[in-house]
């Protein structure tokens, strides 16, 4: 990168702030040299393996199995065999297992948080304070529904579907696993889950939680591998596919499943508008903007990556934002003071760099606060682009990195028009002190989630999902259990 000075591998700090290093110890995590697939409650070895690394320094962490089509078939068969007894178990019995899993996740949260940051690159304070509590909360929440399905859907005779194939991405590995597995199990299904190629380790550690909770063998099966393993799972004899990932792969899966009778939910990309009106609490809004785009290095499908500022407050907002950006600490994900960790993979870093270069080329003005990026690993400084036109790639395409594009508007109508001018429709944010304006905007924004005076807030009771190319189906809340049930 040309705009950022790389000086050594020390944690970067703004010139006038000094922080002592506060690294979280990795001693709590014990990794195996090689992991198999978790099928029918046993570890199954495969012919091929690949290394999973830590993006903070590119060191290999473990060898992971590459599941073939035949391996996926075995996992689906194990899930099918387990389905009968599991679905016939009383709801309150299923709930006990889910409560157990929630409790074990909470008890082992430090171990999981360290492993999540090690394998994925996200700051430990986020794994510790967001990913882990939310993952446990999802199991806890859905445990509560397991014995109340008839009350949740009165007069609709809900029945489980069978075996669910679940494919998840690398940005929230354990949390996405919880979003997928908890509602499926509560509804009486069994699952085969494929974690992302770059972040399989917390899913593999979760198998130990499953054993500890004494979940019957075959109820949860984990198959690791690359995209071909995901494709094999889509093709396999499952009853439903739940996918979170890129819009391109989502479209391919939808084409593949058309006419097969398999149920499908897709949670895909986004290009959220974060809309700031001139009557908002400015400093709060700036915190919300920062959280909206720099949380988890911007590897967030609902990230507030397009900032729309009302013209009358454009200058103070941009000035405050740039000043706040100088206090963001980029560096070791395992340091408790780190705000922005490592980019998940070399491939993702290349994609971010390509889109940032396109932004400059097209004429946008770039700002990156002075910060020292470590020599090893994958890093990208927090970035803001001003003078952005709506047609620029950085305003249209999902960057999935710590890169914000700032645009302006004059009236609420114009804000809505511009915010909706994208193929996506996952989330949006509105910052104003006027309640009626929040409601007016929320009715018009084509986004599955609209946050008001906050951003990136998640709760297991609240449905989440998209419109347009952001996918269909909801996760979270009662809505999130519906796709795992048959009402016929």
CB of 225 to ligand NDP, least distance (A): 6
Q: Which residues contact 392 (CB under 8 A, 6 or more apart)?
A: 358, 359, 362, 363, 364, 405
CB of 7 to ligand NDP, least distance (A): 28
Integer angstrom CA distances of residue 154 from 90, 94, 151, 317: 18, 20, 5, 49
CB of 196 to ligand NDP, least distance (A): 4
CB of 90 to ligand NDP, least distance (A): 33
Let me know if 267 is a catalytic residue: yes
How many helices (H) and strands (E) the chain has is answered by: 16, 20
Chain residue at closest Cβ approach to ligand NDP: 230
Single residue of 194, 271, 306, 372 touching ligand NDP by CB under 6 A: 194
The stretch near ligand NDP (CB under 6 A) out of 131-139, 224-232, 258-266, 388-396 is 224-232
Q: How do beta strands 163-167 and 220-222 pair?
A: unpaired
| CB closer to ligand NDP, 171 vs 265 | 171
Q: Which two tokens stand for residue 134?
A: 């939310």
Q: Are 177 and 200 in contact (CB under 8 A)?
A: no
Q: Is 449 in the site for ligand NDP (CB under 6 A)?
A: no
Let me know if 371 is a catalytic residue: no
- How does DSSP assign 438-462, residue by residue? HHHHHHH---SEEEES--S---TTS
Q: Is 114 in the site for ligand NDP (CB under 6 A)?
A: no
Q: Are 302 and 456 in contact (CB under 8 A)?
A: yes
Pick the closest to residue 441 from 423, 421, 416 (CA basis). Answer: 416
DSSP assigned state of 335: B
Q: Are 406 and 385 in contact (CB under 8 A)?
A: yes
Single residue of 201, 231, 242, 450 touching ligand NDP by CB under 6 A: 231
Per-residue string for binding with ligand NDP, 311-340, x by CB under 6 A? ------------------------------
Give me the catalytic one of 207, 301, 302, 371: 301
The stretch near ligand NDP (CB under 6 A) out of 71-79, 194-202, 320-328, 387-395 is 194-202
Q: Is 251 in the site for ligand NDP (CB under 6 A)?
A: no
Question: What does the CA dihedral 310, 313, 318, 319 come to, rounded to 10 degrees?
Answer: 180
Per-residue string for binding with ligand NDP, 269-308, x by CB under 6 A? x-------------------------------x-------
**Spatial separation of the C-alpha atoms in residues 14 and 18, rounded to whole Å:** 8
Single residue of 230, 333, 369, 448 touching ligand NDP by CB under 6 A: 230
What element of type H or E holds 149?
helix 149-152
Q: Which two tokens stand for residue 341?
A: 């960790």
Q: Is 116 in the site for ligand NDP (CB under 6 A)?
A: no
Give me the catalytic one of 24, 126, 197, 267: 267
Single residue of 268, 280, 356, 406 touching ligand NDP by CB under 6 A: 268
**Spatial separation of the C-alpha atoms in residues 468 and 302, rounded to whole Å:** 14
Residues near ligand NDP (CB under 6 A) are: 167-171, 194, 196-197, 226-227, 230-231, 234, 244-246, 249, 252-253, 267-269, 301, 348, 351, 398, 400
The set of catalytic residues is 267, 301
């Amino acid at each position: 990168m040309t705009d950022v000075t790389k000086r050594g591998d020390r944690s970067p700090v703004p010139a006038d702030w000094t922080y002592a290093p506060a690294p979280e110890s990795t001693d709590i995590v014990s990794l195996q040299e090689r992991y198999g697939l978790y099928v029918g409650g046993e570890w199954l070895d495969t012919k091929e393996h690949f290394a999973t690394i830590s993006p903070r320094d590119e060191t290999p962490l473990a060898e992971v199995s590459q599941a073939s089509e035949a391996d996926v078939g075995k996992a689906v068969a194990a899930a099918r065999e387990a389905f009968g007894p599991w679905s016939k178990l009383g709801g309150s019995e299923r709930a006990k297992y889910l409560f157990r899993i929630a409790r074990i996740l909470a008890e082992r949260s430090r171990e999981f948080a360290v492993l999540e940051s090690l394998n994925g690159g996200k700051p430990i304070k986020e794994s510790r304070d967001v990913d882990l509590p939310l993952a446990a909360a999802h199991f806890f929440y859905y445990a509560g529904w397991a014995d109340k399905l008839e009350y949740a859907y009165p007069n609709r005779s809900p029945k489980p579907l069978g075996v669910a194939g679940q494919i998840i991405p690398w940005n929230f590995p354990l949390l996405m696993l919880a979003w997928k597995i908890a509602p499926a199990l509560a509804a009486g299904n069994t699952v085969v889950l494929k974690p992302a190629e770059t972040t399989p380790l917390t899913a593999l550690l979760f198998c130990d939680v499953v054993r500890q909770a004494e979940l019957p063998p075959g109820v949860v099966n984990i198959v690791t591998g690359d995209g071909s393993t995901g494709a094999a799972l889509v093709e396999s004899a499952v009853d439903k596919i739940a996918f979170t990932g890129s819009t391109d792969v989502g479209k391919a899966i939808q084409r593949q499943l058309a006419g097969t009778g398999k149920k499908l939910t897709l949670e895909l990309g986004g290009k959220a508008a974060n809309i700031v009106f001139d009557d908002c609490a400015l400093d709060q809004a700036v915190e919300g903007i920062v959280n909206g785009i720099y949380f988890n290095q911007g590897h967030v499908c609902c990230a507030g990556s397009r900032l729309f500022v009302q013209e009358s407050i454009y200058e103070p907002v941009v000035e405050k934002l740039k000043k706040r950006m100088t206090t963001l600490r980029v560096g070791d994900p395992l340091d408790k003071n780190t705000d922005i960790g490592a980019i998940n993979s070399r491939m993702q870093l290349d994609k971010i760099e390509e889109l940032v270069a396109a932004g400059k080329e097209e004429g946008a003005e770039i700002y990156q606060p002075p910060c020292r990026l470590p020599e090893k690993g994958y890093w990208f400084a927090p970035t803001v682009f001003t003078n952005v036109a709506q047609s620029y790639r950085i305003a249209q395409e999902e960057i999935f990195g710590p890169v914000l594009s700032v645009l302006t508007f004059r009236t609420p109508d114009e804000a809505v028009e511009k915010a909706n001018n994208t193929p996506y429709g996952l989330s949006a944010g509105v910052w104003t002190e006027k309640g009626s304006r929040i409601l007016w905007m929320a009715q018009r924004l084509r986004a599955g989630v609209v946050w008001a005076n906050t951003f990136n807030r998640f709760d297991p009771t609240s449905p989440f999902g998209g419109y347009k190319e952001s996918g269909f189906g909801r996760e979270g809340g009662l809505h999130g259990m519906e796709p795992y049930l048959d009402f016929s």
